[in-house]
Amino acid sequence: MDSFWTGALAVGASLGGIGGGIGALGAWRSAVLNNRSNRLMAVATTDLRDIEASRRRSELTPQFRLTLTEDINGVARNGNLKIELIGPSTLDYLDEVTIRIVNEAWKDHCSGRLPTNVTAEEAARFVWGPWEFNAGASAQVSDNRTTKPRPYSRVTGKNWDIFSLHRTQPGHWMAMDSAQWQEQEKGPLRLSLSCSRAPYEPWFLLAEVGSDQPAITGLA
């Protein structure tokens, strides 16, 4: 074979190698683009699921009717709090509900410093408001502020509870009597409700209830 054909064959081999390299590069680029497309589709799908879950959770925001009754059995210091899960129509049950009495709003108590002879535990337990839970009802409450968590079901009919209340008293460090305290702390009773149902994130609701002011939570 003369030198001409030998050179031609060498050039052809080189061109074939280049062509193969270009083909491999194209395949790699296509794979990269496909992977990127798949990742974008996965992110979009996840975002849509999250949006739908958030929408569904919002639709299921619990609605409670809260009613405060004073002067139970003619005793001025006794009261009852009735709570009823009433909706929405798409929410038939909750796994757990915990109710907590919170302090009155728009007041800065103690300005960050505790009065003399008041412990941090006493301060945390003390309710700045008109009512506290009857801590003696230990089957229902953890302390004077907080109920024990329990399920509520509109299906079984156990969608309600009645909690015993006592009127709060002035702190031992205060220079006032019960009548003065009750005149100052007329209400309303402020509550926070923590509600859970799998697989949704918990709901946290606030309510203010007066003797002539029943409250319904969760309404838009």
Its CATH architecture, for the domain 61-216, is Sandwich (2.60)
Neighbour-count burial of 41, counting CB atoms closer than 10 A to its CB (0-12 exposed, 13-18 middle, 19+ buried): exposed
Tell me what pLDDT residue 84 has: 97
Tell me what pLDDT residue 130 has: 95
CA nearest 205: which of 96, 64, 81, 106?
64
Distance CA 181, CA 211 (A): 18
Ramachandran class of 84: left when φ > 0, alpha when ψ lies in -120 to 50, beta otherwise: beta
Read off the tokens for 123: 């301060």
Domain residue extents for the chain: 1-59, 61-216
Tell me what pLDDT residue 43 has: 64
DSSP labels, 9-39: HHHHHHHHHHHHHHHHHHHHHHHHHHHHHHH
Is the pTM value of this prediction over 0.85? no
Distance CA 205, CA 186 (A): 22
Sorted by sequence, the CB contacts under 8 Å of residue 9 that are 6+ apart come out as: none
For residues 130 and 190, is the Cβ–Cβ distance under 8 A?
Answer: no
Tell me what pLDDT residue 5 has: 47
Tell me what pLDDT residue 118 has: 84
Distance CA 85, CA 203 (A): 14
Read off the tokens for 167: 């009127």
Distance CA 72, CA 84 (A): 19
Q: Per-residue pLDDT for the chain (220 aa), expressed as one digit of tens each?
A: 555 545 544 545 554 555 566 667 777 777 777 887 677 776 666 666 778 878 888 999 999 999 999 988 877 889 999 999 999 999 999 999 999 999 987 776 655 677 778 888 888 889 999 999 999 888 999 999 999 999 999 999 999 999 999 999 998 888 899 999 999 898 899 999 999 999 999 999 999 999 877 888 876 5
Tell me what pLDDT residue 117 has: 81
CA dihedral of residues 109, 114, 117, 120 (deg, nearest 10): 100
